Structure 1
Amino acid sequence: MTTQAPETKIVEKSKIACDGGEGALGHPRVWLTIAETEGSVECPYCDAKYVLKGRDAA
């Protein structure tokens, strides 16, 4: 059995909401803020990575 890598999403705003995106199988909605110095943030529930457009995803 293999585990899928967390999804990386490119976003245009530094404040975003994540709910797991799977309807009832998702997770509680959380609001995440991308720090200007970091350029990305990971959801503490589903590990999805949100990258500010124009920044490196690494």
Structure 2
Amino acid sequence: MSVPQQPAHAAPATHKATARRVACDGGEGALGHPRVWLTIPHETGWVDCPYCDARYVLDPDAADHGH
């Protein structure tokens, strides 16, 4: 099975994640957004925050990178 490629994306920020479960709060203190927990799917290896569009990409060396 091939892994889907990341679509072109003008993310305001792209972060390397070391775990499949990540938290995003917009990173701007009081000007951010409510903290949300996101899970990076095995199928894509990345997830976008529904509030700020920041992208979290699973590091290929992460312990839980395997399928």
Partner of 2:39: 33
Q: How high is the sequence identity, in percent, across the aligned residues?
A: 62
The DSSP-based 3-state class of the residue aligned with 1:44 is: coil
Figure out how many residues of one structure are paired with residues of the other and give that number.
52
Which runs of no fewer than 5 residues in structure 1 stay unpaired? none
Whether the aligned pair in 1 keeps the contact of 2:46 and 2:57 (CA below 8 Å) is yes
The DSSP-based 3-state class of the residue aligned with 1:36 is: coil
Query: TM-score under structure 2 normalisation?
Result: 0.72
Q: Which has the higher strand share?
A: 1
Query: TM-score under structure 1 normalisation?
Result: 0.83
Task: Give the CA RMSD over aligned residues.
Answer: 1.7
Structure 1 stretches of 4+ with a deviation exceeding 3 A read none
